[in-house]
Structure 1
Amino acid sequence: MSASLVVSAGASSHTGRRRSLNEDAYLASAPVFLVADGMGGHEAGERASAAVVDAFSPLIGRPALVLDDVRRALGDAKDAVEALSSESTGRAGTTLSGVVLAAVDGMGYWLVLNIGDSRTYRLADGELEQITVDHSVVQELIEAGELTVEESATDHRRNIITRAIGAGSTGDADYWMFPAELGDRILICSDGLSSEISDDDIREIVFVESDPQRAADVLVSRAVSAGGRDNVTAVVVDAVLVASRPGSPVAADEPDVADTRPRESAGGMR
């Protein structure tokens, strides 16, 4: 079975300037590209993010995935993180954001998932778009009209997230699915990146740096230089071969997945 979407990828991660442990973990091997940002203290966050990566690792090597594959892996990840919370003094938890390679009627698709305030962006035709919507207090305040995007960057509640895997949360994921196009670049990052450098700076780097590994390295280095207050992780995925046929839409009856674009977004930081 030939792949409907072939990609090239790069990944980089750094502990940052203020943390002793890197509680971020990532997976960057087709068809799965994820970033998990752990939390909980006493190494609980480091173990939680690693448990999520372990749960998705068996999917590596398949030409494409479907929503049920992702949901099963996510269920395994939740069970593993909950087990950590019961074993340790810390309340283990982690965010999760990323993309898996999918196919519909032989066409290459991106299937994006998100829990928490790590982010997935898409660069297409020179424009950077945040696909995911942060699960954070400041995001809810923006949507309620009580806070502007500019105000959210310095609001004292910006560290509070509203969904996670573990940490007492239900861990419900949001999903988006849309056709891949040749030349698409996907960026997945922890909030240690998006809280240190602006979307404009992110866009400039991912636009200028043609090699995905170089782009990931420069993004992380720039965030560390800007302050590095948290762990920083970036995964960059480029669509280098896309099988597509016009007029083949996403199945309308696919639950929880649609060819969608997010509402106005602004991220919280932890």
Structure 2
Amino acid sequence: MSHGIELAFAQHRGLLARDQQDALLVAGAVSQSPDLRTRPVISESQDGLCAVSDGVAISPCPQRASRAVLEALCEIGPQHDGLLQDGWIGPRLIRRHVHPALCRALAGDRRTRGSACTLALLQWRAGRFSVLNVGDSRVYRIDRAGRWQQLSRDHTYFNSMVERGEVAADQSVGQLYQDLEHMLIADEAEEDFAIHWRLGDWAPGDTLLVCTDGLHDTLGQQALEALYRAERPPEEQAAVYLDAVLDAGAPDNVSLILGRIAGPV
């Protein structure tokens, strides 16, 4: 007996930003909306993917980079089977299809060359999941007991320093160290970026959250967990998060996707 994936997603430009530099991919469609209130989707397929991308504000035309990266994911078809890794979208496809597509779209114009973005991608197939990220957009798993686990890795200078034992995770550092160490850049020479990739089992009752930093940086980890209720349907939970971001002043663009294994379909 098969089970579908119950998804809910939301997106907002924020209350201070002029442009929506985030992009969001659900059900094969890319959204880049200033105000996309929570929408539910039931994916009856045993396989699928969703993703978010956050344009890097200090780069030129960041909103075009985030869209181009997700559009490159939409283009994946049988012709790319040789780039898959055990059937999954992994680092090889990102390096040999997604990043080249970003460069083709934007690197040839001096006005957009160097445009940059993050990526956080969730793919699922027959009770398994694949999580891949570049930058600081995140993917979390929340199990049925309410325990949180960050599946993605923040590619920031600070996080690298923590992993090398140079600073403590709770140590205060200057804003410079919170900057991105790795991202996707529309420049053929910028190909030495880090990619985090992991696979796992998607158990019934587990919820996966894919989001840009407009969610986790605005609310903070403690509030993010405190606002979560396992009994809420994904659509309601996504609305709770979006409302909380807006109530907190929404200083940044925000995009989020919640996914949970639904009942038999």
Query: Could you tell me the TM-score, scaled by structure 1's length?
Result: 0.76
What amino acid sits opposite 1:98 in the alignment? L
CA offset at residue 205 of structure 1? 2.6
Select which of 55, 63, 72 maps to 1:55: 72
Q: Distance in 2 between matches of 1:231 and 1:158?
A: 21
Root-mean-square deviation (Å)? 2.6
Query: Between Structure 1 and Structure 2, how many residues are aligned?
Result: 231
List 4+ stretches of structure 1 deviating above 3 A: 40-43, 65-69
- Secondary structure of the 2:236 match is helix
What amino acid sits opposite 1:178 in the alignment? G
- Secondary structure of the 2:219 match is coil
Q: Distance in 1 between matches of 2:55 and 2:222?
A: 26
Structure 2: state its 5+ residue gaps.
28-42, 78-83
The answer to whether the Cα contact below 8 Å between 2:146 and 2:230 also exists between their aligned partners in 1 is no
Select which of 53, 62, 65 maps to 1:45: 62
Change in Cα spacing, 1:158 to 1:229, as seen in structure 2 (3 Å) is farther
- After superposition, residues 1-270 of structure 1 pair within 5 angstroms as 6-29=4-27, 31-39=48-56, 44-58=61-75, 67-71=86-90, 74=94, 75-83=96-104, 84-90=106-112, 91-103=114-126, 108-124=127-143, 125-152=145-172, 155-166=174-185, 168=190, 170-207=192-229, 210-240=232-262
Query: Could you tell me the TM-score, scaled by structure 2's length?
Result: 0.77
Q: Distance in 1 between matches of 2:263 and 2:72?
A: 27
- Secondary structure of the 1:11 match is strand
CA offset at residue 41 of structure 1? 5.5
Q: Distance in 1 between matches of 2:148 and 2:258?
A: 13
Structure 1: state its 5+ residue gaps.
243-270
The answer to whether the Cα contact below 8 Å between 2:135 and 2:183 also exists between their aligned partners in 1 is yes
CA offset at residue 42 of structure 1? 7.7
